[in-house]
Each structure stands twice: as C-alpha cells, then as structure tokens.
Amino acid sequence: MYDSFDMKTGMLCNLQLKIKRLLDKTPLWLSFVIIAGNFLFLLTLVLSYSNYLWNRNRLLASYASSMERTLDLKTASLEQYLDDLSDFAVLPVNDRDFYYELHQTAPLSEQALQRMRQTVSIYYYTRSDLVSYQLYLLQQDIGIGRFASDQRMKLFASKGVTGSDGYIGCIHSRTGSCLLPAGDGALFAFYHTMIRISDRHPIALVGIEVNDSFIKSGMSGLSYALYRNDGTLLYTNAAGSLSDFLNTPGAAAQPDREHIISAGDARYIYATSSGSKYGIRLVSYTPVSAVTDSLQNIRSNSIRQGILFLVLSLVLVSFILRFLTEPLDALARSQASFGKGNFSKISLGRSREVSELTSSYNEMSEQIQNLIQENYVSKINEKTAQLTALEAQVNPHFLYNTLQAIGSEALLNDENEIYEMLLALAGNLHYSIKAPNINSLRDELTFTQNYVRLQKLRMGEKLYVSINIDDSLLDVMVPKCSLQPLVENSISHGIKGDRSTIHIHVFAEQSDNLLCIHVKDDGAGMDADTLLGIRQTIQESPVGLSGKSIGLANLYHRLRLMYGSQCDLLIDSKPELGTEIILKLVLPPSHMA
C-alpha cells in the first residue's frame, strides 16, 4: 500500500516537474494565450449562452404578456358576445303571445306551438352564427329546435331536461347561463334559462350552439383553447399533437415559470386570460420555435461575435504582451554576453518592471566593472609597474651585454659549458621578449630545449627529457610559449613528496591533418578531483583567474585565438603514475602529409 502511495506521489512530483519545465520554456505571451484563451473561451461560451437564455426568456415572457393582452381583449369581447347571446336567448320573451304561452302550465295547443315555433324561427334567422338551437319548454316537455343536421326548426319531445347538464349548470350559475362543450365546428353550447319573474323559477331552457366564427376573428395564426373555469375544454382550434394533448383530461395544467408548456413532442408558450362573468378562460399556445427561431440566429451571431471578440482580444493582448516582454529577451541576451565580458549598459523599457530591471542590471554591470577594474585592472597595472621597474633595471641592452661579458669571461677560462648555458638563457630571453606571439614549432622547440638545458644544470640526473618530433612538423605555427610551459609544469608539479626524479617525454603524432603534441611525465600525478578542477579551469576565461592553472587556461585561450575551435588542450593524470598533456591542433591543408 505504501508502495502505491509512494508511486503516486512520485508520479505526481514527476508530473509537477514536467509541467514546471514546460512552463519554463514557454514564452509568456503563449502561456497567456493558451491559459487565458481557454478560460475566456469557456467564459465567452457561458456568457453567450446565458445571455441567449435570458434574452430568450425575456422574449418568451414578453410574447406571453403581449399575447395575454390580446387574449384579454378577446376574452372581454367573448364575454360581450356571451352577453349578446344571453340577450338573444331570452329574446322570444319579448313576444307577448310567446311570453304568455311560455307561462302556461297546461299543455299547449298545436297551434300555439306552431306559432311559438315560427317566432323562434324568425329570431333564429337574425343570427348567422348559430349551428343549432333548442328551446325547451319545461312546463310542456316539448322542445323547439333546429339541429345542425336538419335545416328546419322542429318541435320535439323532451323529457328530463331538468336533469341535463345544461339545466343544472344554468341553475347553479349567477348569470343563469352555462357553457358546455359542443360538437365539431361549434364553439360551445350556450344554455340560458328563462325564468318566471314572480318566483324566478325557470320555465324554459335555451340551448344554442354557435360556430367558431366569432372566436376566430382576430385570432388567425394562433392555436388557442377555450375552457370553463373548472377546466372543461369548450373549444380549441389546435391540430395534431397539441389537439391530442388538450383533449386528454387534466391537460389544462399550469405552465412552468417561463410560460412554457410541453404538449406531446412540442413546446408552447402559454398565455391565458379569464373572464369572470361567465367563468371562461382563453388560452393560447404558441410554438416556442415560432418565437425563438429568430433567437437562434441571434444566438449563433452572439456566439460568433463573442468568439471573434475573444480571438481579437487574445491576439491584441498577446501582441501587447510580446511587446512588453520583448525587452526581457533582450535582457537575457545582454546577460549572456555579460558573462562573456561585455559590460555595456542597456536601455530597455516598455514597462515599469522592465525599466526597473534594466536600471538594476546597469547598476550591477557598473559595480562588476568597477570590481574588475579595481581587482583585475589594478593587478595588471601592478604587474605593468613591476615590469616597467624591472625593465628600467634590466633593459635588454644591459642584459645581453652583461651576459656576453660573463660569457666571454667563461670562454677565457675554457668554460665552454658555461658559455653554452648563457647562450641558452639569453636565447630564451630573446624569445620571450621578442614580438611575434606566433612562432614555428622549431623555434618553440629550441626555446624548450634551452629551458631543459638550464633546468638540467640545476637538477642534473634528476631530470630526463626526451624529445621526439619529426622534422616535417617543425614548420607548424604555434603560440609562443605553448610547449615550454607544459614541460615546466611537468617539472614543478611532478616532483613532490618522495619523488625527486622525473622523466619527461615530448613527442608528436600526426594523423591526416590532426597534430598531437604530447608532454608525458612519470611524476606525482594528481587525484581525480584536482584533475577535474584543472580541466574546468582550463575552459574558463583567464580574465580574473589567479594562482594555479592560470598558465594552462592562458595557453588554451591563446590556442583558441589562433586556431579557433580547431584545437584542444587535454590533460590526463593518475596519482603516482604521472601526467600527460596533449596539445591537439588541426593543421591547415598545406601541412597534410
């Protein structure tokens, strides 16, 4: 269990590391574009969408409310229509004869009935919106009516009217009327009682079915339904699935908050208006799609705009960021060249942070220059002063004349060896002081051999040097003092501790255009750490170095100046076994063997 935990944390750390490394490499503007871009993109989508939704809802709500205003008007006019129907329903009562016959409890004569029939018929034809008409004479059990299927006003027997829905509805209503659903094409069945004035007892019931012409006017293009307050559907012009929905009982459910109602597979905006007098409710159903189709365009547009805006602003910001952070690149480059010794001041800006960085960089550069000035340059001045003082004492004229004088004295005493030593010394002095810093290997070799001869004078048998360099290589050009210091190094570092003797082998190998000059000794050698330290020091710029290894670093530097990358200075060493330094040079084509 612990393993898996460690593995997880390990993987997590690994992941963190990977992310960190990736971030370190990514430019600022790119990070911004990716991170902010993603975030803003999502935000834009969310905002666009919620904006869309809000607009949609507002649109739906405003549609619903304006619809409702329309419906209110329609409901009001419907109630007026119903008032009108009420008036029409009791119209026959205005005929005196009719009125009288109506009140008769005894069975009416055929004549009377026919007369009544005619009267009703006349009144019937004053209206054009009637589908059917029935007048039930409650005291006679006879009805006068005209049904939809039949064109004529007829008399018919009617019993049990008082038990019918219409009659009961009228009895219980304040207005003495009630509405019932009617057949196809009819708006509703309107029932109205005629009452005896004296006791208000109903003596007749009028039932009228009207067509939907009234309701249709001003409602074209809409789907709507007319309900009774108790939820009974009286009429609807809806078709298809909406019609099926409305016709199922309990379909007058309330819509949700956004005035939306789901009916079958479609969604509709629900607007309603009620009339209190007759207890009617008019509901309109508008397909949401009809209203929101235009919204689709708005939605796509708004998303497109949002994204366009996002992209433009990202582009703009990334340019600005690049512009602002470009100085940092310049700063990084300055710092890189700083390390190479270029201390020039910089002038970068474009933002406060960068300006501050620039000024502190310049301060630092100045301080470092000052330090170098104090430290390094003053050292050079010191050395130059020493050298000048030395030269004043030991000018070449004085030096060589003195050496000649000593030498001649030696010659007078048959001390030819001493004269040779003086020649070696003078030769090396000539070589060191003379101008060209680049000489042939021949000259450098002579210089080295002179040096060795002088050292042998001091060390005798303790120093053994063999030199094995083919004559054909002697014309290769090398920096002055490139070989001799290596031999000097071998002597000064090789003799340590118990060792007092050293054997040095100087030899050269050539393969194609690569020349390797080896200086190999069997001296004290050095341990791996020291070797590594020296190898590193060699690579460093000799500026500011001091103490050990400055010679090697200096030599490497001068080699590079002469041969560019076509050279190398290698050093290998094993403790107690010895050290080998190899000077590698890529010869110019004229030297190919």
Partner 1 sequence: MHKCLVIDDEKPVFIAITKLGHWSSYHLEKPLYAENGRDAMEILRREKPSVVFVDMQMPVMNGSEFLREASGLSRSTSFIVVSGYDEFQYAQNAIRCGAMDYLLKPVAEDALNEAIDRTMHTLYPEEDFKEEESAGEMSAQDVVALLHDTIERNYTDNIRLQDFADEYFFSKEYLSRLFKNTYGIGVSEYLTKVRMERASELILRQEITISDIASRVGYSDNAYFSKVFRAYFGKTPSEYRALYLS
Q: How far is the CB of 516 from partner 1 (least distance, A)?
A: 30
Label each residue of 515-552 as H, E or C.
EEEEEEECCCCCCHHHHHHHHHHHHCCCCCCCCCCHHH
Q: What is the radius of gyration, based on Cα positions, of the chain? A: 60
The residue (of 16 and 416) whose beta carbon lies closer to partner 1 is 416
Give the one residue of 265, 414, 471, 512 binding partner 1; rule: CB under 8 A: 414
User: Do 85 and 209 form a contact (C-beta atoms < 8 A)?
Assistant: no
Q: Is 437 in the site for partner 1 (CB under 8 A)?
A: no
Q: How far is the CB of 463 from partner 1 (least distance, A)?
A: 23
d(CA 579, CA 257): 94
Give the one residue of 422, 478, 491, 553 binding partner 1; rule: CB under 8 A: 422
d(CA 147, CA 512): 127
Give the one residue of 28, 180, 303, 423 binding partner 1; rule: CB under 8 A: 423
d(CA 375, CA 522): 38
Q: Is 593 in the site for partner 1 (CB under 8 A)?
A: no
Q: Which phi and psi (to 5°) does residue 585 adopt? A: -130, 135
Q: Is 525 in the site for partner 1 (CB under 8 A)?
A: no
Give the one residue of 247, 367, 401, 500 binding partner 1; rule: CB under 8 A: 401
The residue (of 423 and 582) whose beta carbon lies closer to partner 1 is 423
Size of the residue set binding partner 1 (CB under 8 A): 25
The SS3 call for residue 483 is coil
- Copy the structure tokens of residue 234: 């009286």
Give the one residue of 133, 419, 451, 563 binding partner 1; rule: CB under 8 A: 419
Give the one residue of 147, 343, 400, 464 binding partner 1; rule: CB under 8 A: 400
Provide the Cα torsion 401, 405, 406, 409; round to 10°.
170
Q: Is 399 in the site for partner 1 (CB under 8 A)?
A: yes
The residue (of 90 and 429) whose beta carbon lies closer to partner 1 is 429
Q: How far is the CB of 417 from partner 1 (least distance, A)?
A: 13
Task: Sketch the per residue contact string, 358 through 397, with partner 1: x for CB under 8 A, - otherwise.
Answer: --------------------------------------xx
User: Do 82 and 74 form a contact (C-beta atoms < 8 A)?
Assistant: no
Give the one residue of 435, 497, 564, 565 binding partner 1; rule: CB under 8 A: 435
**For helices 528-539 and 550-563, what crossing angle results, to 10°?**
40
Task: Sketch the per residue contact string, 168 through 197, with partner 1: x for CB under 8 A, - otherwise.
Answer: ------------------------------
Burial level of 441, CB count in 10 A (0-12/13-18/19+)? buried
Q: Is 413 in the site for partner 1 (CB under 8 A)?
A: yes
User: Do 480 and 520 form a contact (C-beta atoms < 8 A)?
Assistant: no
Binding residues vs partner 1 (CB under 8 A): 396-397, 399-401, 403-405, 407-409, 411-414, 419, 422-423, 426-427, 430-431, 433-435
